[in-house]
């Protein structure tokens, strides 16, 4: 006498395996997204500190140097003009 195996058929077992795999993949994706969000959140919540002004320079002098550097970077000031104005500000 041939004995039938009780339980799901081959097709039923394949469907169960596919469902289990989908649940595992979904869980892994959810965890990965939460980790990425948490890492991105901590990176943006603590911006890098601005460099401290060197001793002897006032905040006004630092502001002037910053504006001067922006003008130089945008091409409005030449290297020579930048150096002259920087030397004037630094005294």
Residue 76: inside a domain, yes or no?
yes
- Give me the percent of the chain exceeding a pLDDT of 90: 27
Residue 35: inside a domain, yes or no?
yes
Residue 33: inside a domain, yes or no?
yes
CA distance 50 to 59: 13
Residue 47 has pLDDT above 70, yes or no: no
CA distance 28 to 60: 52
CB 77 within 8 A of CB 69: no
pTM, to two decimals: 0.40
Residue 1: inside a domain, yes or no?
no
| Number of domains the chain is built from | 2
Same domain? For 42 and 69 the reply is: no
CA distance 17 to 43: 39
Residue 23: inside a domain, yes or no?
yes
Same domain? For 37 and 66 the reply is: no
- Give me the percent of the chain exceeding a pLDDT of 70: 56
Task: Note down the domain range covering 12.
Answer: 8-46
Residue 86: inside a domain, yes or no?
yes
Q: Average pLDDT for residues 12-25, to the nearest whole number?
A: 66
């Amino acid at each position: 006498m041939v004995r039938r195996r009780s339980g799901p058929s081959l097709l039923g077992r394949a469907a169960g395996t596919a469902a289990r795999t989908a649940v595992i993949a979904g869980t892994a994706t959810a965890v990965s997204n939460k980790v990425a969000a948490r890492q991105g959140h901590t990176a943006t919540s603590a911006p890098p500190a601005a460099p401290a002004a060197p001793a002897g320079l006032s905040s006004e002098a630092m502001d002037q140097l910053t504006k001067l550097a922006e003008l130089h970077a945008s091409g409005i000031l030449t290297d020579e003009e930048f150096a002259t104005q920087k030397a004037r500000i630094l005294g």
